[in-house]
Amino acid sequence: METLEGTDLCFPQLLNSSCRKPIRPHFETMLIYILLSFISLLTAALNLLVIISISHFKQLHTPTNIILLSLAVSDFFVGLLMFFQIVLIDGCWFLGDLMCTVYQYLAYIVASASIGTMVLVSVDRYVAICHPLHYYSEITQKRVQVCVCLCWICSVFVQSLILKDIMKEPGRYHSCIGECIFFINYIAGLADLILSFIVPITVIVVLYMRVFVVAVSQARAMRSHIAAVTQSGKVTAKKSEMKAARTLGVVVVVFLICLCPYYCVALTGQDNLLNTSSAAFVISMFSFNSCLNPVIYALFYTWFRKSIKLIVTFKILQSDSCEVNIL
């Protein structure tokens, strides 16, 4: 008879159906606990600062910042969902099959909404840099708000279709009690790959390559002091728009680097079933990106640094603080 030496059961009272805990040194487990808890709290706190900043200060109510607000909201939820990942450190899920399904559903929605928001970021910068004359007439706050809402609604709808199997019967793919795995069938996985990765990433790369080419040509024109550029009817983008394009370009590149691990596995077509360790790595990479975005804003945006000072010193509680000159 097989012994359980070196391993423990997630549910000792269910000897024949319980999952086993992986063998892992206590020090390593505690280190992972501390690291994930720190990343989770930091991600949620930093993105909450972004949400409060853009929501509170009227000067920050611009189309570009509304898109950043949507990104901050998705990143904030990523930070909160990290607490579920902490539960899985020991390889056991104690919250039941229903909560496992809810966790997976929310994780997929947030990931999908983040990718959609990145597409909106690319479109915004493309119009601002490549078609500056039409930017303020075409990219309005109302239109951006509608696009952001549609982005989240489509994410909920698409992921509901992709995950309909596990939503109908939570835990149907679990081999033992105490397991929480990410599983989607081949067709759903292919649809997710196309809709959530290939199409949006292609749009993002194409638009930002165009932005890069135009930005480089405009930078050369400005350095050479060629007055004929504007006289011939070509309009160069503002310096502030160029800076925003560079900053958001960094955000997009970091996002793609952190997003690729999961979809690279999907592209190879090896396995749609992510075990605990691989799922932990994928989610940790995505969460790390969500933590990095506010750091990038702090490095490149003076308005974010100013707003943080006003928030942590509770000056935003003063009357008319929303009218403060933050730019």
Q: What is the pTM of this model?
A: 0.81
Contacts of 208 (CB under 8 A, 6+ apart): 122, 125, 126, 249, 252
Helix (H) or strand (E) holding 292: helix 276-300
Q: Which homologous superfamily does the CATH classification assign to the domain defined by 27-220+235-323? A: Rhodopsin 7-helix transmembrane proteins (1.20.1070.10)
The CA distance from 127 to 207, in Å, is 9
The CA distance from 238 to 246, in Å, is 13
Q: Using alpha carbons only, give the angle 31, 34, 37 rounded to the nearest 5 degrees.
A: 145
Judge residue 47's burial from the number of C-beta atoms within 10 Å of its C-beta, 0-12 exposed, 13-18 middle, 19 or more buried. Answer: buried
Encoded amino acid at 277, one letter: S
- The length of the chain is 327
The CA distance from 57 to 68, in Å, is 14
Q: Which pLDDT score is estimated for 272?
A: 47
The CA distance from 278 to 4, in Å, is 24
Classify 6 in phi/psi space as left (phi over 0), alpha (psi -120 to 50) or beta.
Answer: left
Q: Which pLDDT score is estimated for 271?
A: 47
Judge residue 30's burial from the number of C-beta atoms within 10 Å of its C-beta, 0-12 exposed, 13-18 middle, 19 or more buried. Answer: exposed
Per-residue pLDDT of the chain (327 residues; tens, 9 = 90+): 344 443 577 777 776 777 777 776 777 778 878 888 888 899 999 999 999 999 999 889 999 899 999 999 998 998 888 888 777 777 788 888 888 888 888 988 998 898 899 889 889 988 888 888 888 888 899 999 999 999 999 999 988 888 887 777 777 777 788 778 767 777 777 777 788 788 888 888 888 888 878 777 766 666 565 444 444 444 455 565 666 667 767 777 777 777 777 666 655 544 444 554 555 566 667 677 888 888 888 777 888 888 988 998 888 888 888 888 887
CB atoms within 10 A of CB 167: 16
Helix (H) or strand (E) holding 102: helix 96-130
Map out the domains of the chain as residue ranges: 27-220+235-323
Q: Which pLDDT score is estimated for 273?
A: 47
Residue with tokens 């370009």: 249
**Contact indicator for 111, 220 with CB cutoff of 8 Å:** no
**Contact indicator for 102, 310 with CB cutoff of 8 Å:** no
Q: Which letter does DSSP use for residue 233 in this model? A: T
Joined tokens for residue 286: 């995505």
Helix, strand or coil, per DSSP, at residue 182? strand
Cite the DSSP H helix spans in 163-185.
164-168
Q: Which pLDDT score is estimated for 322?
A: 84
DSSP string, 34-82: HHHHHHHHHHHHHHHHHHHHHHH-GGG-SHHHHHHHHHHHHHHHHHHHH
The CA distance from 197 to 259, in Å, is 9
Joined tokens for residue 177: 């009690």
**Terminal Cα-to-Cα distance of the chain (whole angstroms):** 71
The CA distance from 100 to 106, in Å, is 10
Q: Find the farthest-apart pair of alpha carbons in the chain and give their distance in angstroms, rounded.
A: 87
